[in-house]
Every structure is written in structure tokens, then in C-alpha cells.
Amino acid sequence: MSKIVITDSDFENNDFEFAMARAAGVEIAAFQGPKPQDIIRNAADADAIVTSYGTFTPEVFAALPNLQVVSRTGIGYDTIDVPAATKNKTAVCVVPGYGTEVVSDHAITLALCVLRRMNETDADMRAGIWDYARHRPLGQVHGRTFGVVGMGEIGRATARKAAGLGFRVICTSRSLVPGRRTPEGYDIVEYEELLRRADVASFHTALTPDTRHMLDAHAISLMKPDAIVVNTARGAVVDTAALAEALKAGKLWGAGIDVFENEPVERDHPLLSAPHTVLTPHAAYWSEESGEELRRRAMQAAIDVVSGVRPMDCLNPEALRF
């Protein structure tokens, strides 16, 4: 009987995955060890792995020669060495598209909360303070420009929702040619031009060597002093120390951040004491609806591979052993 090992999980329990495995006639075990040494120990006899945040180095794949697939409960795969997986004949599967609507909802929500100082006035209300004026300036959508960095599915959904609210939308993306317009009518600009023009800069890029700290101190210096930064992509896309410094110096309107360079975020992280921030604990991807789809699709990919069925959303189909 084939065996699936959940090496680590972002969910409160794995009942959902165990039920799918039983229905498919597949053995399953679950652990909570995302580090390479944990994975090697716990998945020694695994044919398939399902992971949320596991780190898969070349050493992991070398130690698991019988591993047919790693299926990640998410879109990104920066913690998985895909070339090493391919060399080991291990397929790598992800779940694109599951969070398009909810992540874009969250990005828009963060932008509006920061623009309107919602968390600050809410805290005042609970402290018995009735005085919105002490949190001025307060902003509005009309007349502002919303810049989308990365026009994949989530970026496009965010642009659509921003435009629907009344923002002017501009965008930049590796796949788009500056000086043109998208089919939806959004101006495509160079990254630095977007930073200079945007009242909100919302990041929706994958984490690669090229995008790591793409919003650093220099990039922040190009932005308007009343601009808002939103990040629901990957934590390391933004140099969060530089962002916190700019916020404390009053060089930005504020920031809405859902993802951090290290998670859970350190209790002494400078963003936690920076003014005019709305911070959420990597929650943008989750709704009850998106969570069920995510778990089902990730588990189904693992079941498919060990059953000899070609999986959906495989990054390296040449690694399949059938």
C-alpha cells in the first residue's frame, strides 16, 4: 500500500486529509516537522509528502529516493529545491488559484483600513475616546492611484476590485510591456514609475532572487510621503526593517502587511511598534471556502501520483515515474 506523509501542516487537524486517504485506500501519517532533518526522519518510508512550510533541500531528496511527489498546500515553492526534486524523479505540485478571491479581498481590505485609520479609531473607541480628528489625515479612494506589482491571477483580481472601488489603477509585471495597457485598460509602467506615482503599492509577486527585498530603502525613497504599502505576497519581497524605519520617520502614510520574512513574526520585530500599520498573521489566503479547496487539491495531487494518475498543477511533469 502506498503511503502519504504529512510532514507539517498549517491546519488545526488533519481529519480532512485522513478521510481522503482512507477513501483512496492509501496509508497516511502526520507529523509537525518542517525542517529538513525532521522530514528525512518522518518520511523515510513515504511515497508522497504533503507539506505547508517544509524545507526541501537536495539533501532531503537524496535521503528519500523512493519519494514520488511533494504536494504543497499553497502557491509558492521557494522552500522546495525543484531541480533537486526533478533529479530525484520527485514531482512537485502546488495549488494555484485557490486563493485568488480571498487574497485580493484581503489586500483591498488592508489598503482601506490603513487609508481610513480603521484600527486606530477602533482602538480609541474601545478606550472611551471619541475623537477621529487626532488620527488625521484620513483618506478617500477617489483621486488616488492604486499600483499593482505582479499581475498574476491575484494581482489581476486585486486590480479589478481596486478599479471597482474608484481607484485609478496602474500595474507592473515581468510579463507585461511598459507603455502599453492591459486588456482591462490599466496602464503598464516600469516598477520605479509605479512607486513614484502610486498612492497604494500592493505586492503580488512570487519570491525569487530578483524579487527579494524589491521594496528596500531605496525603493521606499522613491515613493510619495503619503503612500501606502500592502504586502500579501511573500514576506521577503519587502525589506520590513527598512519599511518600519520609513514608517517611524513619517515617510509613508502607512502599511498593511500580512506576510513576514520570518513567521511567526518575532515579538521585537520593528514593524510591531511602527505607527499606522495594520498587521495580520499570514491570514490572507484563508477563508473557509478557500481552505477546503486548498486542502482537497493538495491532497488529491499526492493521491493521484501514487495511484499512477497525472496530477494537476505539477511544476516538473518530467519527474513523474509513469
- List active site positions: 234, 263, 282
Q: DSSP character for 67?
A: -
CA gap 67, 61 in Å, rounded: 8
What separation in angstroms does the CA of 282 have from each of 31, 37, 166, 261?
A: 21, 25, 27, 11
For residue 133, the SS3 value is helix
For residue 131, the SS3 value is coil
Which grid cell sits at 189? 509602467
Beta bridge partners of 254: 228
Asked if residues 320 and 91 have their Cβ atoms less than 8 Å apart, the reply is yes
Asked if residues 138 and 144 have their Cβ atoms less than 8 Å apart, the reply is no
Q: What ranges make up the beta strands (E) of 164-290?
A: 168-172, 187-188, 200-203, 228-231, 254-257, 277-279
Q: DSSP character for 116?
A: H
CA gap 90, 172 in Å, rounded: 34
What separation in angstroms does the CA of 38 have from each of 32, 55, 160?
A: 8, 10, 42
Asked if residues 227 and 114 have their Cβ atoms less than 8 Å apart, the reply is no
